[in-house]
Amino acid sequence: MGLAIRFGWIYGAPMDDTKNTQEMPISGADAGLVTMDLTGLKCPLPVLKARRQIGQMPAGGILVVIADDPAAPLDFDHFCQTGGHDLLESVAKDGVFTMRIAKALA
């Protein structure tokens, strides 16, 4: 399972605070897996929030980002290239993009 985070805004007001659906501390196979639902956010917020999160993760950790910003696939491709991270997967379905990113080892 891993950590799940939701960010977004409704009618100009922040949605619920970050929700951790996993008991802490996370251990085992899910220790380096974090999922962020960034739907509703527009460029550059998805990449900025992902950058902050990936900076807190262990090397080799997997960040799964869900976004609906049309620029997200290109933005995350560039983010991974410039940050040395590996874009493992980028999938589009019904206007929602899911990117799996492995944090750089060094």
What residues act catalytically? Answer: 43
Instruction: Give the Cα separation of 97 and 106 in Å (integer).
Output: 27
Q: Which two tokens stand for residue 65?
A: 């980002």
